[in-house]
Amino acid sequence: MKIVVLDGYTENPGDLSWSGLKALGALTVWERTAAADIVSRIGDAEIAVTNKTPISRATMDLCPNLRFIAILATGYDVVDVAAAREKGIPVSNVPAYGTAAVAQFAVALLLEIANRVGHHDHAVRQGRWASNVDWCFWDYPLMELAGKTIGIIGFGRIGQTTGRIYRALGMSVLAHDKFQNDQGKLIADYVPLDRLFAESDVIALHCNLTDETRAIIRSETIAKMKDGVILINNSRGPLIHEQDVADALNSGKIRAAGLDVVSAEPIRSDNPLLNAKNCIITPHISWASIECRSRIMDIVVSNVKAFLQGSPANVVNQ
């Protein structure tokens, strides 16, 4: 059984092992694969493992030996799952591997906005404290989160985990989600979207990207928010209209934003958020703790094993 990993570097830059997959077949691991090389690198392999390298209908047509596609992530939009279904190729993903880490990162973005720890550490190392006439200084208004209201759009596993943390910080939690449950009601008050926009001091996005949620944060919805609202997004980049958010940051309508995702990744040099005021951007790393990546590796190995045993698991195109 031939197995090819098309883009293994972000999953395993050297601190993990591919031994689990090696035990299951003849394994070839590519760090990255350009579009022009996808077909040749899959070749006659029966199993393809991908993270962000797309596998299209045309690729499947040109790789007739392909029998199974394993994704090193939860999202599976890089694979034409309908074409795979037609061809009888199961596609498996890795669900629920990073709830705690992604929630932790979302809270870290908000804490950085509230306290500006990184900025002031850098200022101290520049010598500004040593040369200061006062015993302390700060460059941004520091913010206490206790007593503030956070509105969470998308209140599934990650949203609820962040909600618990915010409550522990003394915040009131509002939530908006199509699917309400009793567990969520113990953490937050479910409210209509317009009320969430109107009452929240902080708005955090933890929803899926759908036609309904694409650009859910745009000029029309920003106008419904409090002046000086804070925005957190480490879910999906296209949930926000980037120019509208940049404009709101520059005008002060949005006090600050903490973003781990953007619409096109890697970020383009002309992205308006790069020059927006009070915008913290990190390079899509909420998922990247070694614990998360170890879980991804273990689940992908289990998915391949399940396929080889005739009972594919975590299939997204049944």
User: pLDDT tens, 162-213?
Assistant: 999 999 999 999 999 999 999 999 999 999 999 999 999 999 999 999 999 9
Out of 144, 220, 265, 291, the active site residue is 265
Q: Go through the domains of the chain in sequence order and give each one's CATH number.
A: 2-93+291-308 (3.40.50.720), 99-281 (3.40.50.720)
Out of 236, 241, 255, 293, the active site residue is 236
User: pLDDT tens, 104-152?
Assistant: 999 999 999 999 999 999 999 999 999 999 999 999 999 999 999 999 9
Catalytic site residue 236?
A: yes
Percentage of residues of the chain with pLDDT beyond 70: 100
Q: Can you give the three-state secondary structure of the chain, one letter per residue? A: CEEEECCCCCCCCCCCCCHHHHCCCEEEECCCCCHHHHHHHHCCCCEEEECCCCECHHHHHHCCCCCEEEECCCCCCCECHHHHHHCCCCEECCCCCCHHHHHHHHHHHHHHHHHCHHHHHHHHHCCCCCCCCCCCCCCCCCCCCCCCEEEEECCCHHHHHHHHHHHHCCCEEEEECCCCCHHHHCCCEECCHHHHHHHCCEEEECCCCCCCCCCCECHHHHCCCCCCEEEEECCCHHHECHHHHHHHHHHCCEEEEEECCCCCCCCCCCCHHHHCCCEEECCCCCCCCHHHHHHHHHHHHHHHHHHHCCCCCCECCC
Catalytic site residue 128?
A: no
User: pLDDT tens, 38-88?
Assistant: 999 999 999 999 999 999 999 999 999 999 999 999 999 999 999 999 999
pLDDT at position 44 is 98
pLDDT at position 74 is 94
Q: How high is the mean pLDDT of the chain?
A: 98
Q: Residue 4: pLDDT band by 50, 70, 90 thresholds? A: very high
Catalytic site residue 284?
A: yes
pLDDT at position 21 is 98
Out of 167, 214, 284, 295, the active site residue is 284
